[in-house]
Each structure stands twice: as C-alpha cells, then as structure tokens.
Homo-oligomer: A and B are copies of this chain.
C-alpha cells in the first residue's frame, strides 16, 4: 500500500485563478518525484460558476481522480456546500470564514483562513490571492517554503514579473500564518525527492501535441472548441518552430478539408475538435477514406448530444467515430489511455494513417485532455515513425502507367506527391478505378469497396493496441477503452488485493477491432462487463455486433470521470450478487 495517497481539491469562483493553484501544486508535487493525477471540473461560463481542480498525489502510481477528498479548500459558500459532502470522514476542510460559514455537523477538521481578507488588507494585490491559497496548501502539507517559492517563480505566476513581489509576499504570508496559528492538518508529503529531472509534466493535450510533432506532423488546421482548443493553441506556438503551418479556419469543415488538401500535397496533417466539430467533419473524413489520404483527427470528447455539456467529460462519441459518414467509409479509431499514452498513441495514429492511407480518429476526452501527469521523457531517437508508400525508383515515370489505386496484395498502393513525383493523378471522391479515373461500373465499385474495407481491417493485426491485466481465470473481467483505463486498473488492483479474481482488457484501438484478443478475454472470464462513460454502452454494443456475445455493461453518465471506487463497488456487486 502507498504511504502517501492524498486527494486535495481546491474550489472557487470561476475566473479567480483556482485552476492555477491546482496546476502549480500538481507540478510542485511531481517535481518532488511524487505521482499525480489531476481532475478539473469547470463551468461552461467564462466567469462565475463553480470551478474546481483536484490533485491526487501518491508515492506510487495513482490512476484515478481519488475516491474522496482528503483536503478540501473552498473560497466561498457555494463551493463549500457543493463539495463538503465529498470529504472523507475525518478529512480536512480549509475555508474562508469571511466568505462562508462552516457547518460543524461534518466529521472533518475545519480550518478557517480568511484568504480574501488577508489578500485585500495585507497583500493588497488581489491577483495574489491564489498564491496565498497555494502557500496555505503547501505549508499545510509540509512542502518547505523554498520549494514553494521556486515553484511560484518558475510557474506561470513567475512570468508576470509585475506581480512577482506581491506573490512572494503572499506565499511568505501563508507560511507565516500557518506557523503562527499553529495549524496542523496532520498530513505531510515526503520532500526528500528522488531526482525527477527526467520527468515531463504534461496534460493529455500537451502530450498529444508533442506526439503529433514527433510523428512528423507539420500541418494543423482547426477551429476553436472546448475542450480541444488548447491543442490548437499549443501548436500555434510550436508548429512554426519546427517549420510547420497552423491555420485557424472558419469552421470545422474547412479544417478537415484543408487537412485533406495538405495531406494530398504530402504533409502529415492533424485537426482536433470535440463532438460538434466531429459531426461537421464526417463528410470530409469520408472523402479522405475515398481518396485514401492519411489524416489524423482528434476528438476530445465532452458531454453530448448537441452542445451538451461542453466542459464535462464523456465517452459518447464512439459511435460517431466508428460509423459517422454515409456509405461504407472505413477508418481507424484509436483511444489513448492516459497523458503519457497520449504521446505514444498519437505517434501511432500518424503511423497508422500513413501506412494505411486512411483517416485515423483519436478519441480523447475532456478529463484526459486536461489532466496533468508526470511522465518519463520520451526518447525521440527510438521512436518508430512511418512514412507513406511512394512510387519506387523502378516505377515508370509516365503518369499514364501509374496506378494510384493499384490493387496490391496488402491493398496499399503507392501515392505520388505533387511537386515531387512525376506520376500525377486526379484524386476524386467519386468511385474510380485503379488508375484513379472516375468509374461507376459494378466491377470498379466492388474492387475499390473491398480495397478500402480490407485495407483497414488488416490494421487489426497491428500490435500493441490492447492490453490484458489481472487474473488469468477471473471471475469478473472488465473491458474498457481509452481514459477509463486508470480507474479500471486501480479498482481491479484493489479487488485483487482483497483476493478476488478480476481481470481487465483495455483497448486503445477500437476500429478495426482486435477481435481475437476480445474473444479470448471474454472466453477466459466468468462475467465480462464493459465499463464506459456513456449511457447506452456504445463500445459494448459494438463488441456485440462483432462477437455476438452478450456483455454486461457498467455505465456512468454524469459528466464526471470514473472514480476507482465506482468500479470497485461494481466489481463487488457482481461478485456478491452474480
């Protein structure tokens, strides 16, 4: 068992800077060599509404947001009332007595610290309120002042030089206050940290961006949308540094079709969006399928349908990703499981797109995209990067003899690139023959439909997209995909620790389906259940459509990510009640 496993939640009025407190705290803890798992829950309003960030920290890997709050810091009554019920019995609540009234009825150590009043009257710079709050937390959990100060200086707070002095002042004041008042909340994190300089601290979206660039992506076009906008914002800065182009387009349709154009012209391309944008892109994705062009589309899922819950998390765009587009329009769908995996699965998404000349949809989600994680620095020199098949030296240079859509054994044809290869051709979204000419004959449609379907189906053989964990002869087998991996594995580990036989199968590739692995897993367990963050069990239905095995479902659809305890209780329910 972990010696340290602490869940700290900070909540305040949206726009007051609570999120920064959480971000910097998480970074500070990660820099100390600890494992972190953050969780943000934001209102859809710009200002106002309750905003919260949670940091779970442990000395071994932590893989879920945390079951209950150990330390809650709230800045006002609304947040106090909203979250007090989630504090574990005997936990700690730090509240601002000037802004809210504590309810003594709770089994918790409640510490009043007048954050607002101190900032106003002592620090005198309202911008520094969140540094004060940060200092209160770091002081309470035993992080030395010096480390706290370094974080303030090196974090985004440090970048605003004009506030540095008052920020340091606020930090100092926090430490002094805790000491003077003799506040002891009884928790301490270890501070003699291992060397963690090889660690990067990245959110899911950060890792995804860097993965894209590492894979060779040099063209991005996209349209802002929560929670995918920061992919574009991160790349807006990074892309020109590596000589690439980034375009903020007028809508998602322009985003996907610009990608299609750039891919045709030889670039590795990316666009990122959320559900509403993916809905608008399906026609363009079908075009890429038809013209056999590599394109990577990231969908950072949020609560749906329609505009839905823009700042909440859900895994409910799966069916759109699998089936969205008229006609038979196969594509590859992958889903990274954690922030580190966002890097590697994105690299693989590009490799798959290039190898199979097909659109690849990568399903992330609000929770994964925004949570920070400490991850080992990727070794760029060892990264496998795939390039699309091109006409070979021995091929005829005569365009009349070039078959862009040649029916080969592996269904993959050489693709010539404008400006580089003399074998010019006209790509078309109409049905065509091997020579890329428009052809409506039954023969052409049969052949090309099969080429497109079989090519993608063969990608199911790519290794490394499905992982099995836990008992070999499990009573309960949990099947999950994407970002639910962490809570599933944590719940499984707890159940295993209690002596239950539990296993888990986690998919990172959803289409084509690694069917053999799925079947073998289901056959090996007594009860197979698909655990996902949506109402109808979209992955379960999809598995059933392929395997014809009835599967149980465990679904959550509250806009919030799984907690390990959600799944742990489910496992126990199955074990106890069958």
Contacts and interface: CB of A to CB of B under 8 A. Distances in A.
B431 A303 contact: yes
Interface string A115-129: 000000000000000
Interface string A289-317: 11100000001010111111111101011
A560 interface: yes
A541 interface: yes
Contacts of A324: 279, 282, 320, 323-325
Given A44-B430, A279-B283, A440-B311, A305 B329 contact: yes
Interface string A314-344: 1011011011111111000000000000000
Contact of A279 (B274, B325, B453): B325
A321 B480 CA distance: 26
A545 B274 CA distance: 26
A305 B309 CA distance: 31
A462 interface: no
Given A440-B311, A535-B449, A548-B544, A305 B317 contact: no
Contact of A326 (B276, B449, B557, B558): B276
A389 to B, nearest CB: 22
Max count, chain B CB within 10 A of own CB: residue among A299, A306, A542, A548: A306
Max count, chain B CB within 10 A of own CB: residue among A305, A307, A329, A428: A305
A103 interface: no
Nearest to A557: B449
A312 B429 CA distance: 15
A275 interface: yes
A290 B309 contact: no
A429 B305 CA distance: 8
Contact of A328 (B44, B316, B453): B316
Interface residues of A, number: 67
A329 B304 contact: yes
A445 B559 contact: yes
Max count, chain B CB within 10 A of own CB: residue among A280, A320, A326, A536: A326
A560 B442 contact: yes
Given A453-B535, A548-B548, A303 B327 contact: yes
A250 B164 CA distance: 54
Contacts of A442: 558-560
A208 to B, nearest CB: 19
Interface string A38-60: 00000110000000000000000
Contacts of A449: 535, 557
A149 to B, nearest CB: 37
Interface string A552-578: 000001111000000000000000000
Max count, chain B CB within 10 A of own CB: residue among A322, A327, A546: A327
Contact of A304 (B286, B312, B558): B286
Contacts of A548: 544, 548-550
A446 interface: yes
Contact of A557 (B286, B304, B316, B445): B445
A309 B557 contact: no
Contacts of A30: none
A534 interface: yes
B323 A323 contact: yes
A453 B557 CA distance: 13
Contacts of A43: 440
Nearest to A438: B44
B429 A306 contact: yes
Contact of A283 (B280, B323, B545, B560): B280
A560 B452 CA distance: 20
Contacts of A279: 282-283, 286, 324-326
10 contacts: A44-B440, A275-B327, A286-B305, A287-B306, A306-B327, A306-B430, A307-B428, A309-B431, A311-B440, A322-B323
The 3 closest A-B pairs by CB, nearest first: A304-B327, A275-B326, A305-B327
Given A323-B324, A544-B544, 5 more contacts: A276-B326, A279-B325, A287-B306, A306-B329, A309-B431
Interface of A: 43-44, 274-276, 278-280, 282-283, 286-287, 289-291, 299, 301, 303-312, 314, 316-317, 319-320, 322-329, 428-431, 440, 442, 445-446, 449-450, 452-453, 534-536, 541-542, 544-546, 548-550, 557-560
